[in-house]
């Protein structure tokens, strides 16, 4: 168990409203990731972070921003939600080298977001 | 460019029979290959990975995968399927020059009693 929690677990919102999803980890992992999962697409990387205040874009970053002010928290913000952002969002961390987890990503339980 | 393909949307297997879930990939450097499983309404769970070494990799829940460099494949296998193996399986790949994992679209595995 990589100690990853996501909040909220479910959210319904309306088009044009801002939404923030939170990922929290308890084991001081340096790398954190945000993905979205859509049928037929697998997982697609939105943004990732390699340390406090160090973030970079993934393949589907348009319409999303992230922040990481503390090691344990990685926030994903939809500035103005659209129906195309209806999806399941997963946070992940990269495991420790010492425990054989290097290069392995471990996932949170997900947030199901519906934009009406 | 990196890519990964899972050619079967769904695989149906009878309980007790061997199962195979296929994955092929394309990378420019040395591949790092992963299999994950997702049960309904759950996050993804790591099953196994190939970075280097033996081509046959053993993982969780009795699963194994064989790295075949010439065929650029990394098929997931299990000698005897259980009904509880029914889930969505994802293959992912990156090469040693890239940070980003590329994911397959997933294969739904259905094990029938």
Q: Check if the beta carbon of residue A41 is closer than 8 Å to that of residue A31.
A: no
* Residue A87 contacts B where some CB pair is shorter than 8 Å: no
Q: What is the mean pLDDT of residues B61-81?
A: 96
* B34 in A contact zone (CB under 8 Å): yes
Express each pLDDT in A40-63 by its tens digit.
888 999 999 999 999 999 999 999
C-alpha separations of B69 from A85, B14, B29, B65, B83 in Å: 37, 30, 12, 13, 31
Q: For the domain made up of A4-111, give the CATH fold.
A: Immunoglobulin-like (2.60.40)
The average confidence (pLDDT) of chain A is 91
CATH number, residue B77: 2.60.40.10
In whole angstroms, what is the distance from residue B67 CA to residue B89 CA? 17
Please count the structural domains in chain B.
Answer: 1
Nearest to B103 among A42, A103, A109 (CB): A42
Beta bridge partners of A87: A113
Best A30, A31, A42 residue to mutate vs chain B (most B CBs within 10 Å): A42
CA distance A88 to chain B (A): 10
**Residue whose tokens read 């033996």:** B54
Report in angstroms the alpha-carbon separations of A26 from A23, A30, B104, B105, B109. Answer: 10, 11, 29, 30, 33
- Going from N- to C-terminal start, the domains of chain A cover 4-111
Distances A47 to A63, A101, B23, B108 between C-alpha atoms, Å: 11, 21, 25, 27
Give residue B94's pLDDT band: very low, low, confident or very high (50, 70, 90): confident
């Amino acid at each position: 168990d990589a100690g990853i929690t996501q909040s909220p677990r479910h959210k319904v919102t309306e088009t044009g409203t801002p939404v923030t999803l939170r990922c929290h980890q308890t084991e001081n992992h340096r790398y954190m990731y945000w993905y979205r999962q859509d049928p037929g697409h697998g997982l697609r990387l939105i943004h990732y972070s390699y340390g406090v205040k160090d973030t970079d874009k993934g393949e589907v970053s348009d319409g999303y921003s992230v922040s990481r002010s503390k090691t344990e928290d990685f926030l994903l913000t939809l500035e103005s939600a659209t129906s195309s952002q209806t999806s399941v969002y997963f946070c992940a961390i990269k495991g420790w080298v010492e425990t054989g987890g290097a290069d392995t990503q471990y996932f949170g339980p997900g947030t199901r977001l519906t934009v009406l | 460019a990196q890519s990964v393909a899972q050619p079967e949307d769904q695989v149906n297997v009878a309980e007790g029979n061997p199962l195979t879930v296929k994955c092929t990939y394309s990378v420019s450097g040395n591949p790092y290959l992963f299999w994950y499983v997702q049960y309904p309404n759950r996050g993804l769970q790591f099953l196994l990975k190939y970075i280097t070494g033996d081509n046959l990799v053993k993982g969780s829940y009795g699963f194994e995968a064989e790295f075949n460099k010439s065929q650029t494949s990394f098929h997931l296998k299990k000698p005897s399927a259980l009904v509880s193996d029914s889930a969505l399986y994802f293959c992912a790949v990156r090469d040693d020059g890239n940070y980003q994992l590329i994911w397959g679209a997933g294969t739904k595995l259905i094990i029938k009693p």
